Structure formats: structure tokens, C-alpha cells
Amino acid sequence: MSDQIKYVLDESRIPKFWYNIAADLPKPPPPVLHPGTHQPIGPADLAPLFPTALIMQEVSTERQIEIPEPVRDVYRQWRPSPLYRARRLEKALETPAKIYYKYEGVSPAGSHKPNTAVAQAFYNKEAGVKKLTTETGAGQWGSALAFAGSVFGLEVKVFMVRVSYNQKPYRRALMETYGATCVPSPSNETQSGKSILAQRADHPGSLGIAISEAVEVAAQNEDTKYSLGSVLNHVLTHQTVIGQEAMAQLDMAGDYPDIIVGCTGGGSNFAGIAFPFIGAQLRGGRKVRVVAVEPSACPSLTRGKYAFDFGDTAHLTPLVKMHTLGSTFTPPGFHAGGLRYHGMAPMVSHLKELGLIEAVAYTQMKCFEAGVQFARTEGIVPAPEAIHAVLGAIDEALRCREEGKSKTILFNLSGHGHFDMQAYIEYFAGNLKDLAYDENELAMALAGLPSVKEAA
Amino acid sequence: MSDQIKYVLDESRIPKFWYNIAADLPKPPPPVLHPGTHQPIGPADLAPLFPTALIMQEVSTERQIEIPEPVRDVYRQWRPSPLYRARRLEKALETPAKIYYKYEGVSPAGSHKPNTAVAQAFYNKEAGVKKLTTETGAGQWGSALAFAGSVFGLEVKVFMVRVSYNQKPYRRALMETYGATCVPSPSNETQSGKSILAQRADHPGSLGIAISEAVEVAAQNEDTKYSLGSVLNHVLTHQTVIGQEAMAQLDMAGDYPDIIVGCTGGGSNFAGIAFPFIGAQLRGGRKVRVVAVEPSACPSLTRGKYAFDFGDTAHLTPLVKMHTLGSTFTPPGFHAGGLRYHGMAPMVSHLKELGLIEAVAYTQMKCFEAGVQFARTEGIVPAPEAIHAVLGAIDEALRCREEGKSKTILFNLSGHGHFDMQAYIEYFAGNLKDLAYDENELAMALAGLPSVKEAA
């Protein structure tokens, strides 16, 4: 039997630094703009929302950011996470390719999200913050921050997109078990929420709205800060422990990836696996093809416009340049809730513009087919977000079979699907179908992008 | 911050042998009897249900049973499992005790069950078996066997207690994702099921009934064998990888347990953590207090009779001497489905009679309170079965505080609660209460025990 192989690192090999790709870029990304003046903002503008340490990381161009020892202490619960060689999957695909996957579902919350949640909770605790607010879609981020809050003794309030809140009571229960409060969004607790509900009392919510609510609460309360689970530079940087460990584990295997695949919603797990390798390439190392996989029903990288836009629906955030479908765009209700965001991390968007990464979009039925094949060969049921990466890796492996090439493929299995089994139930029952966004809605959302005059 | 500590073993330290406690007993356990003749059965009597290799393990008195390399290959996916020092929990309890827990929730199916499922699937595959049948209550065992079947290419059919089948669609979906078939029991697919349904069309099912159905199908089909997730000697033996690893990990910590705690339904996770330590004691090693924790609503060890009884409701199994509530006993619908079995593993019962272990019974509300405290300190949400062990460990730690003693407590955290969040939802909503069994029903079930004349 050709069995899977696990590559394990000793816990002394948990990275001591996060890798900041800003240090190695051939060209810096565009500045972040004030929503009123359209002028670049400074650290002080972000102070109501984030503690100083995180703001400094957000704008840092230092290559290495030291991971505080208390954060590494908490990482030790599940890190270093395993890297697997998917030999059972390779055999099923009859591919000459070697497929490796980094498995982040071993964390307490079941995904990569605690890598940044723990860091953010630590810095907020250090800054004397008592309470964190955040948004969550599918619930992976909310439960990660709930876990991190319980470790550092911070109150956590999660605005959960209402449709997910109703569909995923188990995710909500997980957050509450960790001691967090979970509120369906739009809610009556904020002006942003109230104004949405006034227009439509049964509004299903969106990540953009939930962000507005969480930001509003943080901005108005002295002891409260806001925490974001993706998109921002410091969040992506925290996730680079994934890629750094994977690099060391592939080194154990005597291997190096030709192709790296990650799924992209806001971009953080993708950045986590890919940035350390892209950075090595930028510093003169080996070239690697990097493929971002997104859902075709919310295709910011493949169909969005690279433009300045708001991160939220109520336009409380600064303007960032990113691949966006427009902040009013509402994707259809496909199952990968973590990939239902109108924008893409500015840093990921910038790399796309620089030609350092590729992007591809998949429909959900083929993704679930890949997810089931993966479960039956590798024994792990992937989250609906992660099956996009699984399919991306399978597609590359099948191309290798056609071309008779034995390439090395690395992908990030960002989380397990234990809280998403309803999606598998619907898939098996034949109730799932491919969903398309409304072309008119996309056109309107793009037409509504803020008009920003860029400096030359 | 006093943080938890993780003790990790290199994968070369996955045990090479299962430990068989039968080799070290001061007195052998009573024989297994034929249900018709009441005479001791031989290996041939079990041949319709199990492959020879497993039957030989069932009756073996060899201390060490070599783990086949292909089984260790599959174990490598998640073994060695981590041992944690629960320092965050110790601090919250203000106890001078040291609390360690072995975490088996890292397996693909989320519990200790794959330790034996993989072994059983391997030996059946070797014997040319095509299909396995089994029963499941909460679904941990069914999903473990579904996983193991997918690895070795065996068809798996799971009879799932109907009330759980309806309450836990996610567990069912997990089995189906691994490729198994899951049928609510009682079903119309067997004579046992039909006769129960004829009496009561909406019968909620029980483990005893589901066992009858699975055994019946296996006995009637040449290419089909039966697989049991607990109770039998070989199953308990397979679980001893848990205790052997824990012993090595405690050795790394320079420690040895004064007290070992495990929850008991059929007895397999308890045996897994405890038997290697009890064996060491029996061979002249250090004495250890071993506490089995069971639900007070299904208290076989604390309220059952030590007598010969059937393992199933339709009386298709041999007679085994065990602590039993009677094979017709139906426990109330508390949430730890894995602990809702009328009997106890004969080997665990025997150790209880020999005075080598203690038993205690807890009601469910206090267990959930302990589970939530554990989640908020240690970051892992335990399964409803495992919270019994958590509470057992907490109680011992609080006794240490009262007595001012710094004892070393080891418990088995047998699985995570990701598929059991409904129980937590009901707990937080205040809809959970302590349930008691019906004293009259217990008296009747005990009165109905088969009358067996034992050899002197």
C-alpha cells in the first residue's frame, strides 16, 4: 500500500519570526487612503481600531517580525502543524506528480485562523484592551478569535452574518463554548445594522455589513478594539508560519514545490502558505508557480476590478486598492462562507498585478466532488473553503498526468469540515448546484466604486 | 502566563506492540459461554463473525501482540497523539495537582476509535473479507470504521441507533463522506429489526438492537464480517497504544500518574489509557489508582450486576460475564451516546472485581459544566463522553486542593465534541437536565438475566 507520509517538525521549529513580504517587493503596494480626503492615512488614523503594535506591523517593511514568546507558547498547542504527502490521493489520480498538503485543521478552532487570532489577542491584551469585536461569515474566524480571547482573558463579541448564524448553529455554539458572544448581523446594536434592517427587516447579512457593525462598536468604545481575520497585511504576515513550516518540512522530504495552490477569500491562508516561497523567489531563489483558487460565484481576482474600494458596506473603513467586486456586491449563497467577500487582500492583489501569482475560479459542484475524493483517500473531510484548494491541486496533478511530468505540488488544507457537514449532506442528496452571481448586480456594484484620483 | 505544555513523541515511538493485560492477571477472567449450551465457546464459534487473526487476539494470553506495519502506517496520520499538561486548567482550579491529558481527538474521525477500526479493517482485508457491518450509537465508532474501510477498500455498513440517526445528521454525513452506508436501526433489513418494528413501529433503537442487526447480517453473508467498537478483549488491546504512548510522554515530563481517569461506556478508551499502567503495577511496578467514570443514567459498573449476559438485545451473541444492567435495559436519552450501553467490557468488569479499579457515576449537568470549563481553559471542546473523564479529573484535582496534596492525575480526552454541539446548545439554553433511569425497568432487566450455572 502506498500510504500517506507525515512530516513532523519538533516544536522548537515553530517559526520565531513572521515573514513580511513587504520587505522583498520589487514595487511597494499603493497606499491606504482616508475615505473622506482620499489622502494616504497614517498610523494614528487606525488607532481607534487597532493597538499600536498591530498598526506598526501593518505598515512595516521589516522582513522579519519577531513572534512574542507567549504567542509561540499558545501556538505549541497545535503547531508545528503536519505536512502530508498525499500518496493515497496521488495513486487514485494515477498521477506522476507529488502532492503535499499542509494541514491547518489541527488547530483548536479547526482552521488556520488561530495563527493570527492568538497574535491579535495577545497584542490587544498587552495594550490593555478589554474587549474585541469582529465579524464572521462561516464562523471559522469567529471561533478562532473566541478561542484566542479565552486564552488571554478578553471579551469577544462576534457579528455573524445572519444567514450563517441561522444555518450554522454549531459554529455559534463553538464560539459560545469558548465564552464569546455571538450576534446575528445586521443587528439592532449598531447604527449600521439598524439602517440596513430599516430597509429590509429580514436582510440575510453579508461580511461587509458585519464588518461595519464590528468596526462601529470598536470605534465608539474606549476599551474595545476591532479584530479582522483576513485582508490586512499584519493578518497575512501572521499566517506565514504555515509556509515557513512547510518549507522546512519539504526540506526534510528533500523536495521543493513547483506549484503552490491555496484557496482565496480574503487571502490570508493563501498568503500564509505562499508568501514565504514567493519571498524566497524574489530574493533570487527558485521560481514557483503560485495559483490562487477562488469560487466562480465570488470571483474578485478573476472578475473584479483592481481599484480603490471600501472593505465594508457602510463605508466606515479606509479605502484600499484591491481586486474588488464592489462593496455592495452580494454573492449567491454557495457553501464556502469564508470565500464570500467582495474584495481581496491588497497585498495579494498587488502580487497578482506584479505577475507573481495566477488566479483561477471554480464552481462548487466540482469542488465538492474533489472534497469527497480527498476524504476517501486521505481520510480528512475538508472545509468547503479548502475544497477549492483541493480541486486546484487535483487539476494540476491531472495536468501532470496528461503531460507525463512529475511536478511537486504543495497546497494548503486550511481547515476541516466538521462544522460544514450540512453542505456535504446537500451534496449527497443532490440538492447542491452551481450558483452564478447576477451580472447586473456586479456591473452596478462596480459602477458604484468610489472615484479616486490616484497620484502618478 | 502558565501555559499548557505539549509532550510530543517522534513517530518512531508509535508502539510496535499492543499490550494484552490477560498476560499479567492474577486470575483469568471467566470464560465466554455458548448461549444455547452455556458451555465455554472456542475460536470456531466466533468464525462466522470475525477473521481468525482477531479471534486469536481475543483469546490470547501473550503480553505483546505485534502491530502489523500497514496498521502503523495508517496510525502515523495522527499518532503519536499529543499528551498535554493542563496548566491553564490547573490554574483555574487553584489546585496543587498536576493534570495531564492524552488527546485522542486528533484522529481523522475525532476519537480513539480508529485505533481499533484500522486494525480490524486490516485483518479483515487480509482475510479476504469484502464488507464489514457494525453498529453505532453517537456515531464515533461508525465514522471510525467508515474511515478505516475507506483506507483498506472495504465496504462498511453501519446500523445507527435511530434516535441518534435522526439527531445527528452530521455524524451520518461523515460516515457517508468516507463512503460507508448508514442505516437507521431498528431497520427492515434484518429479522431482528423487523421483529422490533412489528412491536413498535417508531422504536428509537438501542445499541443492543443495532448490534443484533449487524451481527445477523454478518452471520448470513459469506463475504461479510462483523466489527465491534468496544467491549471485546481484542478491541481493548488495540487501544493500549494510548496508555503506552502516555507512559513514554510522562517519562519525558519526568512524571508518573498517581491517579488515572477514563470514561466508560463499553470500556475501550478507559482500557486504552489504563491497562498499560495496571499491567506495570501487576508486574511489580508502582501502584496507581484507576477511576472509571460512567454516567449515572447508565451505571453498569456502579449499579449493574456482575453476571453472565448477552451483548445484544436479540440474544445472538455469546454470554459474557460483566457488570450489566440487563440486555433489555434502555437508558434515558442523555447526550453521551457512546456511554449508553447496558454492559461493561468483561475485562474491565473483571478488574473491578479484582479490586484493581474503582468506579464512580456522574450526572450530565455537572459533566457539561466541566466540559465548558475545560474548553475555556484548554481550548478543546470535549465530546459528551469525554466530559465525564474531565469531571473525574477535576474532582480529583479539587480533592488535592482540599488535602493540600500535589498528586499527578492523568486522564484520557477520548474525543472532541465537534459533532455534538447540539448538546452544548441545549446546555447553554438551559434545556438540559439530569436524567435518571427507571428503577422498575432496571429491576425488570436484571430479573431477566439468563440463569447460568457457573462451574466452581
Residue A206: the pLDDT is: 87
User: Cβ B108–A170 below 8 Å, yes or no?
Assistant: no
Q: Which pLDDT score is estimated for A447?
A: 96
Length of chain A: 456
Residues of B in contact with A3 (CB under 8 A): 70, 73-74, 76
pLDDT of res. A2: 60
Average pLDDT (A182-208) is 94
pLDDT for the residue A244: 98
Region A260-272: mean pLDDT is: 97
User: Do the chains contact at A176 and B150, CB–CB below 8 Å?
Assistant: no
Whether A402 and A396 have beta carbons less than 8 Å apart is answered as no
pTM to 2 decimal places = 0.96
If you count residue pairs, one on A and one on B, with CB atoms under 8 Å apart, how many are there?
A: 118
CB-CB contact of A18 with A65 (8 Å): yes
By C-alpha distance, the chain B residue nearest A154 is B376
Query: A88: which chain B residues are within 8 Å (Cβ-Cβ)?
Result: 151
This complex has an ipTM of 0.95
Cell representation of residue B130: 469484502
Residues of chain B with pLDDT under 50: 1
Contact of B421 with A170, CB cutoff 8 Å: yes
The alpha-carbon gap from B86 to the nearest alpha carbon of chain A, in Å, equals 11
pLDDT for A410: 98
- Rounded to whole angstroms, the Cα distance separating B323 from B270 reads 15
E strand or H helix at B5: strand B5-7
- Provide the pLDDT for residue A342: 93
Q: Is B49's Cβ below 8 Å from some Cβ in A? A: no
The pLDDT value recorded for residue A453 is: 84
Predicted confidence band at A322 (pLDDT cuts at 50, 70, 90)? very high
pLDDT value at A1 more than 80? no
Q: Give residue-wise pLDDT tens across range B286-310.
A: 999 999 999 999 999 999 999 999 9
Residues in B closer than 8 angstroms to A381, CB to CB, are 174, 177-178
Domain positions in chain A: 4-14+67-110+234-447
In angstroms, the separation between the Cα of residue A313 and the nearest Cα of chain B is 31
The answer, for B223 touching chain A at a CB cutoff of 8 Å, is no
Closest-CA distance, B331 to chain A, in angstroms, reads 26
B209: helix, strand or coil: helix
pLDDT band at A336; cut points 50, 70, 90? confident
A455 has a pLDDT exceeding 70:
no
pLDDT per residue as tens digits for the range B201-220: 999 898 889 999 999 999 99
Q: Which among A399, A402, A374, A398 is positioned nearest to A386, based on CA atoms?
A: A374
From the candidates B1, B71, B335, B380, which should be mutated to test the interface with A, based on the most A CB atoms within 10 A?
A: B1
Chain A residues 238-297 within an 8 A CB cutoff of chain B:
none
C-beta atoms of A177 and B147 within 8 A: no
C-alpha distance from A271 to closest chain B C-alpha (Å): 26
pLDDT for the residue A8: 92
Q: How far is A198 from chain B (nearest CA, A)?
A: 29
Name the residue with higher pLDDT: A90 or B454.
A90
Of the candidate ranges A17-21, A417-421, B1-5, B304-308, the one whose mean pLDDT is the lowest: B1-5
The pLDDT mean for chain A works out to: 96
A4-14+67-110+234-447 folds as Rossmann fold (3.40.50)
And the C-alpha cell for B166? Answer: 435522526
Task: Write down the pLDDT at residue B3.
Answer: 84
Given B3, B375, B419, which is nearest A177 (Cβ)? B375
Rounded Cα distance, A178 and B374, in Å: 9
Whether A418 and B170 lie within 8 Å, measured CB to CB: yes
How buried is B220 (Cβ within 10 angstroms: 0-12 exposed, 13-18 middle, 19+ buried)? exposed
- The Cα–Cα gap between A64 and A80 comes to 19
Q: pLDDT tens digit string along A128-169?
A: 999 999 999 889 999 999 999 999 999 999 999 998 899 889
Q: Treating both helix axes as pointing N-terminal to C-terminal, what angle do B140-152 and A364-378 enclose, rounded to 10 degrees?
A: 90
